[in-house]
Amino acid sequence: MKRTGKKVTQRPAAKKGKPKTAKPVQETKVGIPPEAKKRKPAPRKPSSKERVSPPSASDAFPIVGMGASAGGLEAFTSFFNNMPAESHMAFVLVVHLDPGHASMMPELLKRHTKMDVIEAQDGMTVVPDRVYVIPPNRDMSIFGRVLQISEPAEMRGMRMPIDSFFRSLAEDQGEKAISIILSGTGSDGTLGMRAIHGAGGMCMVQDPETARYDGMPRSAIITGLADYVVPVEKMPEQIQAYVRQYYPKKPGKILYLGDTSLTAIQKILAILRTKTGHDFSHYKKTTILRRIERRMSIHQVADAAAYSQYIQEHPEEIQVLFKELLIRVTSFFRDPEAFETLEKKMLPDLIGKMTETDTIRVWVPGCGTGEEAYSIAILLRECMQEAKSDFRVQIFGTDIDEDSIAQARTGLYPANISLDVSAQRLKRYFVREETGFRIRSEIREWMVFAVQNVISDAPFTKLDLVSCRNLMIYLDLELQSKIIPMFHYSLRPGGVLLLGSSETVGTFGELFSTLDRKWKIFRRTEATSPYHGGVFTGYGVGAAGAARVADTALQAKRVTFPEIARSALLEHFTPPSVIVGERGDILYVHGQTGKFLEPSQGQPSMNVLDMAREGL
């Protein structure tokens, strides 16, 4: 059974946290011992026996991270009973073990595989065809294919060792990372799976109907990011088939797409544009190709032409590919140092310049499920409390994915966010619910989440801060060169622009001065922007609403009776509206627009963005 990217939420299943049989396999849940308060020790150097030459691209192999809690031993044994000893993959097991006892897991699993099964040690280099098991009461990460074992850090709630390892695996191995979430209670592994999916890795989840405890599998499935939802015994065959097709046999070689690949890729993008209304032709080609290749491997489709046919025969795959290309990698306070710099330096300066009647306006384009927008809101609340100020705040979070925006509006996030949000902030700004944490209303009332395409829709204006982190790295230079001037246009004089650590303002240094070079924080200058409002022609929304009005005056014509009747009907039944040109200049006004538009101060302007009333 194979499902791709589908949510499994409708089936009747065992209650979360309760076993489906009377006698579960003996396994204990994680505990929090007194020594968990200790600081992490410095990683020890590997012994001479463990040291190996630095890994190179030529000896790269997939590393499979496997997470489980209660019921995990049963799932592991079923998996390794069906996994060949020579798969050229490594397996790292992160399981919730009794912190007070030595683990018997390696000895038990040796009975079910011919691979070496060992307890992981600090500084141990991961090699293929070997199984590594996390020690009890330890955290584990991976860097340069070397395992880092440490005592748990000071607790901020329940430990999430699976999330922690999966995140480090995603950062270290990228598309070579594979995550598997098996039986267990709670939601550990869900956030880590998001990271692996965002890095281009593969995500597999045990079918909840076959799991002794279904909490962890269901939490992972509901994200919609699981590439496969299958019984454990089917996983080895599926992984091997995926690895054979997706990973090149030679370093630097991309998957063979077929002789007609270019035409097929163009056709795939055209289908996406027609069915979703979004144009990916100006996304970076390497990203587009790798994501399409990944979907081909999941479905075991031979070439791009066959995949083009596949998505036409399976319309649900179009939406899955659409979400795949959006590449969602987000979390609360991602890159904490960047947010600390914003909190300590930029926001106090911004608040200090405000008057009692001012409104702080923030835009977060490409906000995904809202974590970054809420993070900025929390920082603003804390900075205003520090300054003993209370200004009106509007934070606009926008994204082209309707599902992401819908989730952002709920303000509900899994319990795993305790990895990223301090206990103090969780208590102050969140309400604990059965399924996780919900943002308190005092923060949510500042937020406006909306579906918007930063490429094709008009931008927000009169902004104090624009935070667009890790969106432009997926766009080509031509599109980047249009978005940066648009941000300059959107910001008020002295406004702040926050980009991702790998992004830059490019050739538009005259539009922005650098405030922090490391974390790419810039201030808007007084230079004249080459952008003058409106949208980018040629980067539009395809068949799903791509009608454009020419930026020319309408020629006067002889009025006929049908036109008089049409005019009367429009006047009576349609709402106030305006027709604008490409740059937002008003060409025609219909109805009473006073509630929405007013003349701008100073030199008169007929630009709809200049005339929009405050708050729109």
pLDDT in tens, 501-519: 889 998 899 999 999 999 9
The pLDDT-based confidence of 451 (bands split at 50, 70, 90) is very high
Q: Is there a single domain that holds both residue 196 and residue 310?
A: no
Establish if 347 belongs to a structural domain: yes
Kindly state whether residue 489 falls inside one of the protein's structural domains: yes
Say whether pLDDT at 196 is over 60.
yes
Residues 316 and 376 in one domain: no
- Are residues 381 and 285 part of one domain? no
| CA-wise closest residue to 307 among 287, 280, 289, 282 | 289
Q: Is residue 544 a part of any domain in this protein?
A: no
Domain residues for the domain of 410 are 336-524
Do residues 109 and 76 touch, judged by C-beta distance below 8 A?
yes
pLDDT at 600 over 70: no
Q: How many domains does the chain have?
A: 4
Cα–Cα nearest to 342, from 316, 394, 377, 368: 377
Q: In DSSP terms, which residues pair with 177 in a beta bridge?
A: 63
In which band, very low, low, confident or very high, does the pLDDT at 170 lie, cut at 50, 70 and 90?
very high
The CA distance from 94 to 181, in Å, is 10
What is the model's pLDDT at position 282?
Answer: 86
Is 200 a domain residue? yes
In angstroms, rounded to a whole number, what is the distance separating the alpha carbons of residues 581 and 220? 45
Structural domain includes residue 29: no
In the 8-state DSSP scheme, what is residue 420? T
Return d(Cα 155, Cα 37) in angstroms, integer.
Answer: 7
CA distances for 359 relative to 69, 172, 351, 463, 496, angstroms: 48, 42, 10, 9, 15
Predicted confidence at residue 67, as pLDDT, reads 97
| 139 lies in some domain | yes
Distances (CA, A) of 300 to 209, 225, 245, 297, 461: 25, 18, 7, 5, 46
**Whole-angstrom Cα distance, residue 406 to residue 394?**
18
Do 295 and 240 lie in one domain? The reply is no
What token pair was written down for 91? 């397996």
The answer to whether 133 and 67 are in contact (CB under 8 A) is no
Please check whether residue 430 lies inside any domain of the structure. yes
Whole-number pLDDT of residue 31 = 35
Active-site residues: which are they?
Answer: 69, 96, 188
Looking at the chain, the whole-number percentage of residues with pLDDT higher than 70 is 76
Residue 82 and residue 180 in one domain: yes
Residues 151 and 223 in one domain: yes
Average pLDDT (536-548) is: 36
Distance of CA 574 to the CA centre of its chain: 39
Sign of CA pseudo-dihedral 301, 304, 310, 315? positive
70 and 206 housed in the same domain: yes
Task: List Cα–Cα distances, 202 to 174, 206, 297, 394, 399, in angstroms.
Answer: 10, 14, 10, 38, 24
DSSP calls for 108-154: HHGGG-SSEEEE--TTPBP-SSEEEEPPTT-EEEEETTEEEEEPPPP
134, 215: one domain: yes
In a domain, 21, yes or no: no
Longest dimension (CA), the chain: 94
* Rounded Cα–Cα distance for residues 465 and 452 (Å): 18
Sequence-distant (6+) residues with CB within 8 A of 402 are: 451
Indicate if 168 and 238 belong to the same structural domain.
Answer: yes
Does residue 572 sit in the same domain as residue 510?
no
Among 18-32, 249-263, 582-596, the minimum mean pLDDT is found in 18-32
CATH number for the domain harbouring residue 121: 3.40.50.180
Q: Which of 246, 271, 301 is the last residue of a domain?
A: 246
Do 487 and 456 contact (CB within 8 A), yes or no? Answer: no
- 160 and 240, same domain (yes or no): yes
The CATH number linked to 483 is 3.40.50.150
Can you point out the beta strands (E) in 258-338? none
- C-alpha to C-alpha distance for 65 and 270, rounded to whole angstroms: 36
Q: Domain boundary at 499, 524, 549, which?
A: 524
Whether residues 289 and 142 fall in one domain:
no
* pTM, to two decimals: 0.72
Query: Which residue in 99, 101, 96, 102 sits closest to 32, CA to CA?
Result: 99
Residue 365 and residue 362: Cα distance in Å, rounded?
10
Q: Which of 297, 326, 355 is the C-terminal boundary of a domain?
A: 326
pLDDT in tens, 209-233: 999 999 999 999 998 899 999 999 9
| pLDDT average, residue stretch 130-157 | 87
